[in-house]
Structure 1
Amino acid sequence: MSTDDAAAVNFSELVNKNKQTLDRLRDSPHLLLHRRDGEDLVLTTAARAEQDRTVVSAATRMLAAIARHEPGRTGLLLDILPDAFPWVRFLPDPDAHAFAVNLVDTMRAADSVGNTASVAQALTAWRHTAEAHSDPHLLAASSRNHEADYGAAPDPEHVA
């Protein structure tokens, strides 16, 4: 959910002027609550949260249907992914295919439990993979043979 369209107030405003602050939800789909001692919070109505969940669920089902109905399963999906995620262009073809399959599978699983955190995590991980492929020096460093064993790490308490 984007907080760009949310009204923003300090959390203390909600505590001290709760009715006036909550009235702002009539004019904005979300209320961004800035907290001094913690992560900001987003407040919305139950109806709006259910609408958001319905939209995400519908998009997930449509994406899964595209992947299922295309010969070769992911051909159309591979064609449209760079429009949605331009960084996909940096992934080698086998990785782009793996991303497409992983994205659909993760979205379907996340939709089934009503929690999209795993989708956000998968997108972040794949974006970082694309970033590594976009930088020849980073790709070379990450592709080196890391099988060398340098022995046990010293105990930090005994290192001077």
Structure 2
Amino acid sequence: MSRFIQNYNQHLTEAERTDDVLVLQQRAGRPAWVLETEGRVRATAEATEFLSAALVALVHDEALVDRFAAAFAGSLPWVAFLPEADQLVFVAEAADTLRACASIGRYTEFASLVDDWRNTAEIWSDPALAASLSADIIDPLNEPVNATD
């Protein structure tokens, strides 16, 4: 970061010439900053919108959704722990959420969705844990608990 500040014009000129992305590292655990040209950001946004629209079309095509879900499980191995029906739900939700995120240029909701599904797959990977969490609840939830019991 300090080298960039000292010679920012030189760094920006070189990055413009090469179409490189500048990553500015900070000290003391502070987050890095990423600088790129507006043209590069717009191109990435357009490509992401196109790809997300294509994914949505794939996952909503009854003839392709099973094959797509299987291929997707290959790129995210933890998806294989999900029950087959949940794999299809995950793939559809991921594509729909990605498309919505691409339309506004913010992907935090997509990352959150993937994390939630990864956590679900982790539960399914432990058969004892999955069984205990899937079991019926014996005590009714709609009755208040007596504080004296």
Matched, 1:107 2:101: no
Structure 2 residue runs without a partner (length 5+): none
Counterpart for residue 8 of structure 1: none
For residues 75-90 of structure 1, the aligned pairs below 5 Å read 75-90=66-81
**CA drift at 1:58:** 1.2
1:92-131 alignment, distance < 5 Å = 92-131=83-122
Partner of 2:4: 14
The equivalent residue for 1:66 is: 58
CA drift at 1:18:
0.6
How many Å separate the matches in 1 of 2:88 and 2:33?
A: 36
Determine what percentage of the aligned residue pairs are the same residue: 29
- Whether the 8 Å CA contact 2:19–2:37 is kept in 1: the answer is no
Contact 1:29 1:48 in 2 (8 A): no
Is contact 1:66-1:76 (8 Å) kept? no
1:49-89 deviations in Å (ceiling 9; x for gaps) = 11111111111011111123333x73232232112211110
The 1-side partners of 2:48 and 2:73 are apart by 20
Runs of 4+ in 1 over 4 A off after TM superposition: 140-152
TM-score if structure 1 supplies the norm length?
Answer: 0.72
Taking a change above 3 Å as real, the CA distance of residues 20 and 142 of structure 1, as seen in their structure-2 partners, is: farther
Amino acid at match of 1:67: V
Alignment check: 8 A CA contact 2:60 2:92 kept:
no
Stretches of structure 1 that go unaligned for 5 or more consecutive residues are 1-10, 153-160
Question: What one-letter code is carried by the residue in structure 2 that aligns with 1:18?
Answer: Y
Q: Is the 8 A contact 1:78 1:100 kept in 2?
A: yes
How far, CA to CA, are the matches of 1:136 and 1:56 in structure 2? Answer: 37
CA RMSD of aligned residues (A): 2.8
Structure with higher RCO (Cα < 8 A, 6+ apart): 2
* In structure 2, C-alpha distance between the alignment counterparts of 1:119 and 1:55, rounded to whole Å: 16
* Deviation at residue 143 of structure 1 after TM alignment: 4.6
Q: 2:45 aligns with which of 53, 57, 69?
A: 53
